[in-house]
């Protein structure tokens, strides 16, 4: 089986046309890979480009150069050059993403938000809901909230909905953008256990964790993003 | 993933005299895919939508549609009758103003039933049953089935228009500002409904909107238009999170945060 995720010579900058076209370099020459069953944690100070790397991998950011290779349905897809339709298919079947904040859809109940990734993969609605319920109770989200849309939930509650949504599928690659940032100690431990279970299943994970305890618990390897920072090169 | 697009649009241009409506637009649409066309008023969004849906004859270019038998047909080389049949059965068109898509002086049930009769349904009881079912799906209570849409609120009319369009099981739906002119709470309900139906039915849809939040919620892919040209095109998340063109950056930075 091919390595689930390989990032090779990726460059990224933003051109701000509304600011006289100034160019803000984000990362230069990013190279790494994540093996099956491995959890790689992106390290380095805020603003160094950790979230940007995750967003490039998920297709939310375009890249200037380089390749992002994902093993998708027994072929290698380059996210950097794939068409939107392919990226959607990769997201549906191969690569999951737990963002920092939940993008809430008006009127959709928390349990349906969580079940949705399974439903779009063709799982029967009742079964998808059962799985969603299991995850939500594991994450200690009070049952009376399940049927409510999450837009009015607290930060920690929204985050748990988000985590459940990201973990419900058996995607082979999982991107985690500070999934434990607004959780209490009990729920942080639940998430740490869930990550450990994903490792057992052979899922390749790449994450950002500012909480040291969580990072210690889940990281197989820490990748210092400062090494890819163009600013470091300027400072040196 | 199916290997054939449903719709192929090549080099479509429309000029109003020397003025550009839209110029040299190319794209393909696959089954189950929702494409948003965004841009400010007068950017050519609706002109493009009308050219693709054969409501307006383009000055140049071709639009090919994969028929149910698997063969592509150029829409502008079909007879008027064939095109009309396609419009009535395999396609839906949701207008911004429901009065343009509904018959305001016949009952809600008849508005839905009419499309069924167009595809050959003749059994009154069955038509009424299907109509009732569809009213339920768009959250209009069954006891309003004999009322005329004139007596409905704007949001209800819009939902009725959607039911009328979807009842024949179309494969492609065009929507022109489907949430324009509705209250935000009504908008949310409609968006959720459309999103659910598109997912459940595996429809392909082309949605024209100037509301980027609507585009984010509904669409997979997005085209940004300015002065009749498509200036940016890509995955919806990518266009909104990492806009490349100056005009798109301006649009995205102009969204009000709540």
Of B196, B218, B247, the closest CA to residue B37 belongs to: B218
Q: Which residue carries 């024209």 as its tokens?
A: B208
A127 interfaces chain B, CB cutoff of 8 Å = no
Strand order in the sheet with B19-29: B19-29, B7-16, B60-66, B72-74
B183 interfaces chain A, CB cutoff of 8 Å = no
Strand order in the sheet with A204-208: A95-98, A173-177, A204-208, A39-43, A221-224
Of B188, B238, B249, the CB nearest to A107: B188
Q: Chain-centre distance of CA B9, in angstroms?
A: 16
Chain B contact set for A87 (CB, 8 A)? 235
- For the CA atoms of B125, B131, B134, B135, what is the dihedral angle to 10 degrees? -120
Q: Which one-letter DSSP state was computed for residue B141?
A: -
- Assess contact for A200 and A37: CB atoms under 8 A: yes
Q: Are residues A85 and B188, on separate chains, in Cβ contact within 8 Å?
A: no
Where does the pLDDT of residue B2 fall: very low under 50, low under 70, confident under 90, or very high at 90 and above?
low
Q: Give residue B3's pLDDT.
A: 78
Chain B contact set for A18 (CB, 8 A)? 246, 249-250, 253
Q: Which one-letter DSSP state was computed for residue A44?
A: S
Q: Please state whether beta strands A75-78 and A22-34 pair in parallel, antiparallel, or not at all (unpaired).
A: unpaired
Q: How far does B234 lie from chain A, in Å, by closest CA?
A: 6
Site from B238, B251, B254 to mutate, A interface, most A CB atoms within 10 angstroms: B238
Site from A107, A152, A177 to mutate, B interface, most B CB atoms within 10 angstroms: A107
Q: Give residue A233's pLDDT.
A: 53
| Helix H or strand E encompassing A69 | strand A65-72
- Assess contact for A220 and A37: CB atoms under 8 A: no
Q: CA of B200: which chain A residue's CA is closest?
A: A120
Q: CB-based contacts of A87: which residues, under 8 Å, 6+ apart?
A: A59, A79, B235
Where does the pLDDT of residue A181 fall: very low under 50, low under 70, confident under 90, or very high at 90 and above?
confident
Residues within 8 A of A (CB atoms), B 198-237 only? 199, 216-217, 220-221, 234-237
Residue B21 has pLDDT above 70, yes or no: yes
| Helix H or strand E encompassing A129 | helix A125-138
Distance CA B236, CA B219 (A): 7
Q: Give residue B194's pLDDT.
A: 84
A75 interfaces chain B, CB cutoff of 8 Å = no
Distance CA A41, CA A36 (A): 14
Distance CA A35, CA A94 (A): 14
- Assess contact for A120 and A92: CB atoms under 8 A: yes
Of B30, B191, B253, the CB nearest to A106: B191
Q: Are residues B238 and A14, on separate chains, in Cβ contact within 8 Å?
A: no
Q: CA of B29: which chain A residue's CA is closest?
A: A85
Q: Are residues B235 and A18, on separate chains, in Cβ contact within 8 Å?
A: no
Distance CA B66, CA B170 (A): 13
Mean pLDDT, chain A, whole residue set: 93
Q: CA of B250: which chain A residue's CA is closest?
A: A18
Average pLDDT over residues B71-98: 91
Where does the pLDDT of residue A145 fall: very low under 50, low under 70, confident under 90, or very high at 90 and above?
very high
Q: Are residues B220 and A107, on separate chains, in Cβ contact within 8 Å?
A: no
Q: CA of A56: which chain B residue's CA is closest?
A: B238
Q: Are residues B192 and A105, on separate chains, in Cβ contact within 8 Å?
A: yes
A119 interfaces chain B, CB cutoff of 8 Å = yes
Q: Which one-letter DSSP state was computed for residue B3?
A: S
Q: Are residues A108 and B192, on separate chains, in Cβ contact within 8 Å?
A: yes
Q: Which of A78-82, A97-101, B33-37, B99-103 has the lowest mean pLDDT?
A: A97-101
Q: How far does B148 lie from chain A, in Å, by closest CA?
A: 28
Percentage with pLDDT > 70 across chain B: 98
- What pLDDT digit, counting tens, does each position of A188-235 carry? 999 999 999 999 999 999 999 988 999 999 999 999 999 998 875 554
A233 interfaces chain B, CB cutoff of 8 Å = no
Q: Give residue A96's pLDDT.
A: 95
Q: How far does B192 lie from chain A, in Å, by closest CA?
A: 7
Distance CA B249, CA A185 (A): 40
A12 interfaces chain B, CB cutoff of 8 Å = no
Of A15, A88, A106, the CB nearest to B220: A88
Q: Give residue B202's pLDDT.
A: 83
The pTM assigned to this predicted structure is: 0.91
Retrieve residue B70's tokens. Answer: 């698997």
Average pLDDT over residues A158-180: 95
B95 interfaces chain A, CB cutoff of 8 Å = no
Q: Give residue A107's pLDDT.
A: 81
- What pLDDT digit, counting tens, does each position of A82-131 carry? 999 999 999 999 999 998 887 777 788 999 999 999 998 889 999 999 99
- What pLDDT digit, counting tens, does each position of B180-205 carry? 877 777 787 788 888 888 888 889 99
Mean pLDDT, chain B, whole residue set: 91
Residues within 8 A of B (CB atoms), A 42-61 only? 55, 58-61
Q: Give residue A236's pLDDT.
A: 44
Residues within 8 A of A (CB atoms), B 7-66 only? 30, 33
A122 interfaces chain B, CB cutoff of 8 Å = no
Q: Are residues B235 and A61, on separate chains, in Cβ contact within 8 Å?
A: no
Beta-strand (E) ranges in chain B?
7-16, 19-29, 34-38, 60-66, 72-74, 91-94, 172-176, 204-208, 221-226, 229-235
User: What distances in angstroms separate CA A216 from CA A36, A191, A210, A226, one per listed residue?
Assistant: 19, 13, 10, 19
């Amino acid at each position: 089986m091919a390595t689930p995720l390989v990032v090779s010579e990726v460059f990224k900058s933003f051109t701000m046309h509304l600011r006289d076209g100034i160019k803000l370099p984000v990362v230069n020459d990013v190279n790494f890979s994540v093996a099956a069953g491995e959890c790689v944690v992106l390290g380095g100070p805020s603003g160094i480009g950790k979230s940007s790397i995750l967003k490039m991998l998920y297709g939310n950011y375009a890249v200037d150069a380089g390749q992002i290779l994902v093993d998708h349905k027994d072929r290698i897809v380059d996210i950097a050059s794939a068409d939107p339709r392919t990226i959607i298919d990769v997201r549906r079947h191969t690569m999951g993403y737990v963002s920092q904040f939940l993008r809430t859809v008006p009127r959709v109940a928390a349990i349906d938000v969580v079940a949705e990734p399974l439903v779009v993969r063709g799982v029967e609605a009742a079964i998808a809901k059962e799985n969603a319920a299991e995850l939500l109770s594991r994450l200690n989200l009070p049952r009376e909230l399940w049927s409510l849309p999450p837009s009015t939930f607290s930060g920690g509650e929204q985050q748990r909905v988000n985590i459940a949504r990201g973990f419900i599928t058996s995607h082979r690659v999982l991107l985690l953008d500070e999934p434990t940032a607004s959780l209490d100690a009990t729920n942080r431990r639940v998430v740490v256990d869930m990550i450990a279970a994903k490792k057992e299943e052979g899922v390749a994970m790449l994450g950002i964790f500012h909480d040291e305890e969580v990072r210690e618990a889940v990281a197989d390897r820490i990748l210092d993003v400062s090494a890819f920072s163009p600013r470091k090169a300027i400072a040196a | 993933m199916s290997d054939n697009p449903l719709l192929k649009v090549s080099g479509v241009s429309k000029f109003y005299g020397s003025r550009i409506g839209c110029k040299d637009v190319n794209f393909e649409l696959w089954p189950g895919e929702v494409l948003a066309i965004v841009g400010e008023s007068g950017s050519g969004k609706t002109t493009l939508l009308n050219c693709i849906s054969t409501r307006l004859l383009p000055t140049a270019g071709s639009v090919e549609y994969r028929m149910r038998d698997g063969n592509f047909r150029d829409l502008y080389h079909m007879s008027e009758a064939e095109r009309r049949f396609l419009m009535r059965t395999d396609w839906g068109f949701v207008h911004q103003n429901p009065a343009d898509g509904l018959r305001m002086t016949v009952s809600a049930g008849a508005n839905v039933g009419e499309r069924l009769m167009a595809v050959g349904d003749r059994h009154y009881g069955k038509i009424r049953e299907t109509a009732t079912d569809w009213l339920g799906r768009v959250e209009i209570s069954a006891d309003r089935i004999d009322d005329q849409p004139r007596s409905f609120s704007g949001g209800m009319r819009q939902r009725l228009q959607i039911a009328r369009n979807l009842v024949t099981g179309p494969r492609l739906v065009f929507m022109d500002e489907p949430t324009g002119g509705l209250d935000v709470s009504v908008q949310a309900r409609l968006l959720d409904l459309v999103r659910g139906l598109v997912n459940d039915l595996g429809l392909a849809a082309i949605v024209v909107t100037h509301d980027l939040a609507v585009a984010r919620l509904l669409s997979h892919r997005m085209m940004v238009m300015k002065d009749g040209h498509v200036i940016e095109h890509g995955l919806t998340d990518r266009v909104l999170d990492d806009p490349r063109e100056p005009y798109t950056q301006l649009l995205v930075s102009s969204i009000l945060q709540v």
